[in-house]
Amino acid sequence: MLYLRLGFRQTTKLKGMKFLKWLLIIIVLIIAIVVIYGATQPSQMTVEESIVITAPASKVFEEIRDFKAWDEWSAWSKMDTVMEQSYEGEMGKVGYKNSWKSDNPMVGVGSQEVVEIREDEYMKTKMLFNGSADENFASFTLTENDGNTTVVWDMLGAETPFYARIMNTIFKPMIIQSYKSSLKDLKLIVESKPKAIPNPLNLEIVDVEAMSIISIKDSCSVEEMSGKMTEIYTELGIFMGTNGIQASGNSLSMYYTYSPEKVVFEPAFPVNQEVTGVGRVKVSEMHGGKAIKAIYRGDYSGLEEVHVGIDEYAQLSNIELADYCWEVYLNQPGEVGNDELETHVYYRVK
């Protein structure tokens, strides 16, 4: 019986040794496979994702260059909304830096610093993680076309030893997903912002004060405008001189309809004294209120473009205009050269 017990124990021990031997072989094989696989992988992790945003490049770049704005769209910022953050340097310049510290292992401790930047086109950052001196780089490239901006966000990781490259394979899908979700949120934020209205004429909304005017309303074709204007202003001048009336400001003209065949207009002078109209010389009150104002300098032939520009701006801005406009002439032909003529154009806002 003792012999049988000893034999059983020895057999069990041998079986245990065999199990450990095979377990060790399996572990060695797994390590070998990992090392061999790692040796065949790139030494640096690379990631590249892109998205098209319906907005000018300048608007997209505003969100990218400002690290403080990343809290709204970066996937890593959303992983820890209370992490410690600090900022150094001037935004939009080389040296601008964001450092962070988080208890979330997916965020950890690190920093990113701008190392290259071109306004509205390109930004490259150097990234350091968890106290390591190994440098990682990321860049944004913006390309605008017909009001749309393609954003390409790429990353080039630090050099990785061959035995650790398996970690790049594990983490890369997570980084890709974070890139995709971040770009998607960046798109939503930029596209949800109010769109800037083109304003090449530097138009502004102003408050216009009420004023009394004496005027003559008439009509003619565009070709006859110059002669008809001279005729009416002469008639108004004679009326004012005869009645001892002084103009209180620059000459102006209101416009009601405009086409090549017929222009209905009303040349006038502002006055600040009591006047009684005679014949076709009328005295009336121009009401105050809001108006779109343009300042134009140059020959009168260029004023048509100003009027078209104001109308386009009003439509894009959803501003409803009154049914007439007016021009104020700050100087006159003969006083200055045609290129120095200054005209202020007003469109009343309803």
| pLDDT tens, residue by residue, 5-57 | 444 455 555 555 666 665 666 665 656 555 665 556 666 888 999 999 999 99
186 and 49 housed in the same domain? yes
pTM of the model: 0.58
Determine the Cα angle at 104 with ends 98 and 105, to 5°: 95
- Whole-number pLDDT of residue 186: 97
Three-state DSSP state, 101: strand
87 and 153 housed in the same domain? yes
162 and 209 housed in the same domain? no
- Whole-number pLDDT of residue 328: 97
Instruction: Report CA-CA distances (Å) from 117 to 60, 63, 187.
Output: 14, 14, 21
Query: Is 43 or 321 the better-scoring residue by pLDDT?
Result: 321
For 99, residues 6+ apart whose C-beta sits below 8 A from its C-beta are: 85, 86, 87, 88, 110, 111
- Whole-number pLDDT of residue 167: 67
- Whole-number pLDDT of residue 44: 85
118 and 143 housed in the same domain? yes
Q: Is 196 contained in some domain?
A: no
- Least trusted range by pLDDT, from 14-28, 55-69, 249-263: 14-28
At residue 102, does pLDDT exceed 50?
Answer: yes
Q: Where are the beta strands (DSSP E) in the chain?
A: 46-53, 84-88, 97-101, 109-118, 122-129, 136-145, 148-156, 204-208, 211-215, 218-220, 252-258, 263-271, 282-286, 289-297, 321-329, 342-349
226 and 165 housed in the same domain? no
Other C-beta atoms lying within 10 Å of the C-beta of residue 319: 16
CATH code at position 282: 3.20.80.10
Q: Is 18 contained in some domain?
A: no
Q: Is 49 contained in some domain?
A: yes
- Whole-number pLDDT of residue 133: 87
Calculate mean pLDDT across residues 201-208: 96
Calculate mean pLDDT across residues 234-243: 95
Asked which of 191, 219, 254 is the last residue of a domain, the reply is 191
Q: Is 126 contained in some domain?
A: yes
Calculate mean pLDDT across residues 209-222: 96
Calculate mean pLDDT across residues 298-307: 94
Q: What percent of the chain has pLDDT over 70?
A: 85
- Whole-number pLDDT of residue 197: 85
Asked which of 191, 226, 246 is the last residue of a domain, the reply is 191
Q: Is 322 contained in some domain?
A: yes
Three-state DSSP state, 96: coil
CATH code at position 186: 3.30.530.20
Tokens of 336: 């200055």
- Whole-number pLDDT of residue 320: 95
Contact criterion met (CB below 8 Å) for 292 and 203? yes
Calculate mean pLDDT across residues 169-184: 90
Contact criterion met (CB below 8 Å) for 212 and 299? no
At residue 237, does pLDDT exceed 80?
Answer: yes
Helix (H) or strand (E) holding 7: helix 2-39
What single-letter amino acid sits at 58?
S
Query: What whole-number distance in Å separates Cα of residue 248 and Cα of residue 213?
Result: 9
Three-state DSSP state, 257: strand
- Least trusted range by pLDDT, from 125-129, 194-198, 346-350: 194-198
Query: Is 315 or 39 the better-scoring residue by pLDDT?
Result: 315
Asked which of 191, 224, 244 is the last residue of a domain, the reply is 191
Contact criterion met (CB below 8 Å) for 136 and 128? yes
Q: Is 3 contained in some domain?
A: no
Calculate mean pLDDT across residues 297-308: 94
131 and 238 housed in the same domain? no
Q: Is 215 contained in some domain?
A: yes
Range of the domain at 315: 204-349
104 and 248 housed in the same domain? no
102 and 168 housed in the same domain? yes
246 and 291 housed in the same domain? yes
- Whole-number pLDDT of residue 8: 44
- Whole-number pLDDT of residue 172: 87
Contact criterion met (CB below 8 Å) for 43 and 156? no
Contact criterion met (CB below 8 Å) for 127 and 111? yes
- Least trusted range by pLDDT, from 9-23, 63-77, 291-305, 332-346: 9-23
At residue 67, does pLDDT exceed 80?
Answer: yes
- Whole-number pLDDT of residue 163: 63
Q: Is 197 contained in some domain?
A: no
- Whole-number pLDDT of residue 252: 97
pLDDT range class, residue 266, cuts 50, 70, 90? very high
170 and 208 housed in the same domain? no
At residue 120, does pLDDT exceed 60?
Answer: yes
- Whole-number pLDDT of residue 4: 42
184 and 229 housed in the same domain? no
Q: Provide the domain count of the chain.
A: 2
- Whole-number pLDDT of residue 262: 95
255 and 322 housed in the same domain? yes
Average pLDDT, the chain: 89
pLDDT range class, residue 2, cuts 50, 70, 90? very low
